[in-house]
Amino acid sequence: MSLTLHYHPLSSFCWKALIALYENGVPFTPNLLNLGDPEQRAALLRISPIGRFPVLSDEARGETVPESTIIIEYLDRHYPAATRLIPQDPDLALNTRLRDRVLDLYVHLPMQKVVGDRLRPADKKDPHGVAEARAQIRASYAMLNDQLAHGGWMMGDGFTLADCSAAPTLFYGNKVEPFADGHRHLAAYLERLTARPSFARVLREAEPYFGMFPKET
C-alpha cells in the first residue's frame, strides 16, 4: 500500500485522521507507535522532527504529511472518494476550515490542557491554567450548541473535515467537561457521531487502550 499512517489508537488527533481514512475506505498501512519505546520514538523523530503524530507517509508520491488537518486536506485532494471532506463550494470550504480551527484551538487544545495537568506531579499542577481551559471549553460548547440546532452534521447535510475534528474533540471533551446538561444539540450531535461507522470503528480499536486515559485525582 502506498499510504502509511504513523499513529497511536488513543491519540485524539490520530482519531481525526483515522476517521477520514475510514470514512472513504482509503487503503493504508497502520503503524502503531509506542513513544515509550526509545527506538519507536527515534523512528518517529526521523519523519516528524517535533515528535508528534499522526504523520502520513505516501510512498507513491514521495510525500510525508504531518498534522491531522493537513492529512485530511491531502487525502481529499490526492485520494478523493465518495465523501468530499472539503466542500467544493469555496465559501462552504472556508467555513469548514474555520469550524475545524475553532474545534482544534478552542475545545481540543484546552481539553488536552486539562488532561495533561492530571499527569503532572502534585507540586507541578496548574489549577489556574486548568480553570482557564475549562472556561474556554464551556464558552465553545455554548457556541457550538447554537450552531448545531439544525440537527445535521457540523456543516449541515454533508460529513466534512469539521466532523472529523469534532468527533475526538467532543468525545474526550465530554469526559473532562461534560456537556449533556444544557447543551442538548451538542449532546445529540455527539450521539450521531459515535453512530457513524467511521468513528464507531475508531472507538472500537481504541477501546483496549481506554484504561490509559488519565483519570481526575
Residue 109 DSSP symbol: H
Q: Tens of pLDDT along 127-142? A: 999 999 999 999 999 9
Please state the domain extents for the chain: 3-78, 90-196
- The cell numbers describing 195, all together, are 453512530
Percent of the chain residues past pLDDT 90, beyond the cut: 87
Q: Tens of pLDDT along 150-195? A: 999 999 999 999 999 999 999 999 999 999 888 999 999 999 999 9
H helices within the chain, ranges in order?
Answer: 12-23, 38-47, 68-78, 90-103, 109-118, 127-147, 161-176, 184-195, 197-206
Q: How far is CA 164 from the centre of its chain?
A: 6
For the stretch 4-27, what's the b/e string if a residue is b when 16 or more beta carbons lie within 10 angstroms of its beta carbon?
bbbbbbbbbbbbbbbbbbbbbebe
The pTM score is 0.94
90-196, which class in CATH?
mainly alpha
According to DSSP, the β-strands at 3-7 and 29-32 are parallel
What does the pLDDT average to over 113-130? 94
C-beta of residue 23 within 8 angstroms of C-beta of residue 83: yes
Percent of the chain residues past pLDDT 70, beyond the cut: 99
Burial of 82 (0-12, 13-18, 19+ CB in 10 A): exposed
Phi, psi of 63 (to 5 degrees): -115, 145
pLDDT at residue 172, rounded to an integer: 96
What does the pLDDT average to over 69-89? 94
C-beta of residue 79 within 8 angstroms of C-beta of residue 26: yes
Q: Tens of pLDDT along 82-114? A: 889 999 999 999 999 999 999 999 999 999 999
pLDDT at residue 67, rounded to an integer: 96
Please give the CATH number for the structural domain made up of 3-78. Answer: 3.40.30.10
Please count the CA atoms within 13 angstroms of the CA of 9 that sit on its side-chain side: 17
pLDDT at residue 51, rounded to an integer: 86
C-beta of residue 78 within 8 angstroms of C-beta of residue 60: no
- As a whole number of angstroms, the distance between CA 214 and CA 217 comes to 9
Taken in order 152, 72, 22, 43, the sign of the CA dihedral is negative
Query: Whose CA is closest to 160, among 76, 77, 47?
Result: 76
- As a whole number of angstroms, the distance between CA 104 and CA 106 comes to 6
pLDDT at residue 1, rounded to an integer: 63
